[in-house]
A and B are shown apart, each in its own frame.
Chain A
């Protein structure tokens, strides 16, 4: 009886140890593998079509879902229509990946910067480059200079604002995780706590419902919202760049990705040969004259 119990217990503790050992054995995942093999390829070689991508021979590009206009037309990243879709394909082309070698993937914004192995080669999702964000991910060179804009319902008090000071008393809203929200807290410094929405869609309906007086987004999005989605809203104005380097959207890559220099030089080349300007003209031409709020 007694012996039995001892034996049982010994067996149990043996099993526990075995389980733990198993856990130890299983736990480490070879994250090094990716960076190791890519560093062997050398950062300097950006041989066309032969980059150390996730799937060799293919370029995996990620963006959030739904993908909004005017960045992606009809929520269809693979369509090649819309500014970011066009830029993504132009970058891919530069890197030596034709249209059929590009694979799209849907990755939510707040998952794109999770540590550990990435499932995409780069992410294009209107992500503004900042020094702070560089601590978590790699950015390519900027492919678009961003300006932030305020939209409000026509005839409302917020719509009459002529300066930033006029916006201090209104309830402002923006999408969380966006630099738009930073513009509200850092530039406008409103008296009321700004509303932070998970998606621009919710910000739009809050604007329609009068739950917020005005919404801040980047200028092209603001144009699209006022032209197509909330037609009784208007652009109140845009903000000037706040000192230093202008705000730019960049492609997001894994921290320390071997692809970063190649992708960056591809973007630089596109800027140099006027492709970016042409695509901007084609897809974002509306976003030109909105009064500047000072």
Chain B
């Protein structure tokens, strides 16, 4: 897959100044190059300064607009009350633990199920026709059905059937509903990824003697999954926030914990606390995936970017 390794991608200027016949003496940059680099550094510093200043000005202006709004004192009291924030934080974190566990379990289930459905949809051959139809119907149905309705049906409707041996735990049922909906989304992401791999890759794999399954496993999926990382992360973040919807069955997650305090005090600060807790979870997740993606890209781009 990779190109033969030449020199590492070198300094970006290499092409411009390298006077081929430098021989084996130590490399001395030309006057012109030094001047050019100095100029570039200057420009970069200036750009940073301008960006910082403009950010600062924007920030200050926005702050002043909000703070000088006539309703600000009441807004501050209603949304940013330190006392309620302190009261809410431990309860919100307790609830967040439920969100996190749900995210982990449902996240894994969603990835596995989504991949299976996507593969089922891309299977060729007349034998697999019923499987393809089922997989298509599944994605069409659960992607279309509003999540809240899926949750209502599973969390409140399934126990009403009074089936022996089926749990009535709202968290387990809620997790099932989330998995149903999200695996339909994720299956579509995977399918798009699988179909985005150029047919020549498959043809090349087959011509090397790989079976259809081997080609999928060793050639198509690795390339597909790599392209899927950003949209998959998107779905994961979305799932993380939606885990709170299991509270429909009475379970107390971070948002519902905030609800409880807000309902008693008629103060919205607990919601802000819960919101920030979710954001605090999302940011490291995003940075981590960015890092993973960048690492994969670097590996793929060995031999230089064109």
Decide if the interface of chain B is mainly helix, strand, loop or mixed.
helix
The docked-state distance in angstroms from the alpha carbon of A54 to that of B266 is 22
- One of B68, B260, B267, B268 near A28 (C-beta < 8 A): B68
Chain B residues with CB under 8 A of A32: 70
Q: Determine whether the beta carbon of B263 is less than 8 Å from that of A206.
A: no
A23 proximal to B (CB < 8 A):
yes
Q: Which partner residue on chain B sits nearest A133 by CB separation?
A: B266
Are the CB atoms of A29 and B266 closer together than 8 Å? no
Report the Cα distance A110→B64, complex, angstroms.
28
A20 to B65, CA, bound (A): 10
Chain B residue contacts of A132, Cβ below 8 A: 264-266
Chain B residues within an 8 Å CB radius of A255: 74
Place the interface of chain A in its size category.
Answer: 35 or more
Interface 9-residue window, one of B3-11, B216-224, B243-251, B298-306: B243-251
Query: Within 8 Å CB of B252, what residues of A?
Result: 193, 195-196
Is A197's CB within 8 Å of the partner chain B? yes
B192 at the interface (CB under 8 A from A): no
Chain B residues with CB under 8 Å of A135's CB are: 77, 265-267
Please tell me which one of the listed residues B71, B168, B259, B265 contacts residue A136 in the complex, with CB atoms under 8 A apart: B265
Tell me the residues in window 27-79 of chain A with beta carbons closer than 8 Å to chain B beta carbons: 27-32
Complex interface: chain B residues within 8 A of A195 (CB): 170, 249-252
Q: Counting CB contacts under 8 A, is A116 at the interface?
A: yes
| In the complex, number of A-B residue pairs with CB atoms less than 8 Å apart | 113
Taken residue by residue from 18 to 32, chain B's Cβ proximity to chain A (1 for < 8 Å, 0 otherwise) reads as 000000000000000
Q: Which residues of B contact A246 (CB under 8 A)?
A: none
Distance in angstroms from B243 CB to nearest chain A CB is 16
- Bound Cα distance A113, B263 (Å): 10
Q: How far is the CA of A127 from the CA of B59 in the complex (A)?
A: 40
Interface residues contributed by chain B, number (CB under 8 Å)? 36
Is A85 on the interface with B (CB-CB < 8 A)?
no
Known: A20-B58, A23-B65, A196-B250. A31 touches B71 (CB 8 A): yes
CB distance from B151 to the nearest CB of A (A): 11
Of all chain A residues, the one with the shortest Cβ separation from B265 is A132
- For the complex, what is the distance from the CA of A135 to the CA of B269, rounded to whole Å? 13
The 8 Å CB contact of B266, one of A27, A137, A203, A209, is A137
Checking B71, B250, B265 against A29 with a beta-carbon cut-off of 8 angstroms, the contacting residue is: B71
Residues of B within 8 A of A130 (CB): 264
Residues on B with beta carbons closer than 8 Å to the beta carbon of A206:
156, 170, 249-250
Q: A132-B265, A211-B170 are known contacts. Are A181 and B69 too (CB-CB below 8 A)?
A: no
Excluding A132-B266, A136-B266, 8 further A-B contacts by CB distance (< 8 Å) are A29-B69, A114-B268, A132-B265, A133-B266, A195-B249, A196-B252, A209-B168, A211-B169
The 7 closest A-B pairs by CB, nearest first: A177-B263, A195-B250, A136-B266, A209-B159, A113-B266, A115-B74, A27-B65
Residues of B within 8 A of A (CB): 54, 58, 61, 64-66, 68-71, 74-75, 77-78, 156, 159-160, 168-170, 247-252, 256, 259-260, 262-268
What would be 9 A-B contacts, judged by CB atoms less than 8 Å apart? Answer: A114-B268, A132-B266, A176-B256, A177-B260, A177-B262, A177-B263, A195-B251, A198-B248, A210-B168
